[in-house]
Amino acid sequence: MRYILALDQGTTSSRAILFDRQGQVVRIAQQEYPQHFPQPGWVEHDPLDIWNSQLACARRVLADGGIDACEVAAIGITNQRETTVVWDRATSEPLCHAIVWQDRRTAALCDDLRAAGKAPLIQRKTGLELDAYFSATKLQWLLTHVPGARARAERGELAFGTVDSWLTYKLTGRHVTDASNAARTMLFNINSLRWDPELLSLFGVPASMLPEVVPSSGIVADADPAWFGRAIPIAGIAGDQQAATFGQACHRRGMVKNTYGTGCFMLMHAGDTPPQSHNRLLATVGWTVGNHTDYLLEGSVFMGGATVQWLRDGLGIIKQSADVEALALSVPDSGGVMLVPAFVGLGAPHWDAYARGTIVGMTRGTTAAHIARAAVEAIAYQSAELLAAMQKDAACVVHEVRADGGAARNDLLMQFQADLLGVPVVRPQVTETTALGAAYLAGLAVGFWSSRDEIAAQWKSERRFEPQLPAARRDEMMARWSRAVAHARAWAVPEHH
């Protein structure tokens, strides 16, 4: 048993990564799959595309390395969170397309619940803001709008799950999820660590649809030998951001990581009781190992690396995402331009579903390079707002922020981020921390690694970015950012509001 296989099911691609005992990447396979945008603000995936691409990657990573399934000690699964899948229990066929976390179609449902005074109840039980981002209103929408869905659900014929549940069901036939994913549905009580009957009734969800909640680290079931030629145990499950926090060895209260992916997600270890946020951050379950649960504070930025994809696909000013750094560096600064990437609304700490993307401060001298620079800087500005909110909530001093995700390879972004935060930003040697976290959770369950201490000792820094800006200049820049955000807010409020 020489390896752990991590399945990393993301928003735009599926990946499979093999890790060795040192926590090093041995092999990686990746496959993009189609995105569906049936209407403005709607984002969907075909669950079969998710499954087929993930299975293909897992098989390819073994085949390419000439690795036999009997050398793999366990499989860990990590996934895009909140994305909502409903399938037929008997045939394991999807009922319809999955509604993706980025989808905004249920914003009006959230408005109605807010008007009915339900937001404080939801926050108290789930730690979440009432927002279209989470699974509950997506599931409610599917049960209402897909013909026959509600009647079939009430007869016990349909299963609901986030992407981890869907993959586990396809691999093993067992209908489960872990607490880190359950905590993102807005149906799960993070205090009792159980599905909440009052919330199920509020959203009209039959309890028979729900997966069983299992520990994040623990053997769930074996993958059917048909998939890999041998039964491999599924032994770790965690939502992508929680997995990345675990993979960054943020195992102690006050440790922070920020992932620069499609969105940006900053998480702080908050100890072993659910934190209370007074600054519109999310309280969420980190992971359950044995019978011990760790909690996290989380701030979500919806458009991180996706802002750079927009420069590439929407504006066509770069050929590939990696080109953004050189273009942005061709000018000394953004020339006074601020880009607020509220393309799908704003996440924490604003939670404005009706904000829209805005560029301010342009002059006749503004070039594509200034806009590229402003786009990179916007990623850092949004994350800086999150850390400020976190430090207020947690009342603890943050000594460093551990960075990962694709855009963490951008040195310009990392230095600008350290300057805005006023604390060092540290990039680890292994930036595949999401998959690594899932591998660690699975490996701990089967004794591949002995303890969290052994795991934490494997974490090593590749580069440390020290802040170089005076505090007064930093405050000035954040104040300008706040002015820019004010222009983007509430732009798309429907006429009837």
133 in a known ligand binding site = yes
> Does 150 appear as a known binding residue?
no
Q: If DSSP codes are grouped into helix, strand and coil, which group holds residue 384?
A: helix
82 marked ligand binding residue: yes
CA pair distance 223, 170, nearest whole angstrom = 9
- Phi and psi at 229, nearest 5°, equal 85, -10
Residue 427, marked binder: no
Report which of 248, 249, 218, 250 is spatially closest to residue 235, judged by C-alpha positions: 218
The reply, when asked if residue 305 is annotated as ligand binding, is: yes
Helix residue ranges, H only, 194-322: 197-203, 225-228, 240-247, 305-310
Asked whether 196 and 178 are in contact (CB, 8 A), the reply is: no
β-strand pairing of 98-99 with 85-88? unpaired
The C-alpha torsion from 355 through 357 and 361 to 364, rounded to 10°, is -150
Output the CA angle 181-183-186, nearest 5 degrees. 115
410 known member of a binding site: yes
Is 262 known to sit in a ligand binding site?
yes
Question: What residues pair up with 296 in beta bridges, in sequence order?
Answer: 269, 284
22 is in an annotated binding site: no
Run of H or E including 261: none
Q: Is 13 annotated as a binding residue?
A: yes
Residue 60 marked in a binding site: no
- Does 137 appear as a known binding residue? no
- DSSP lists the bridge partners of residue 15 as 8, 30
124 assigned to a ligand binding site:
no
Contact (Cβ atoms closer than 8 angstroms) between residue 285 and residue 190: yes
Known binding site: residues?
11-13, 15, 81-82, 133, 240-241, 262, 305, 309, 406, 410
Known binding site for ATP: residues?
11-13, 262, 305, 309, 406
Known binding site for glycerol: residues?
81-82, 133, 240-241
Known binding site for sn-glycerol 3-phosphate: residues?
11, 81-82, 133, 240
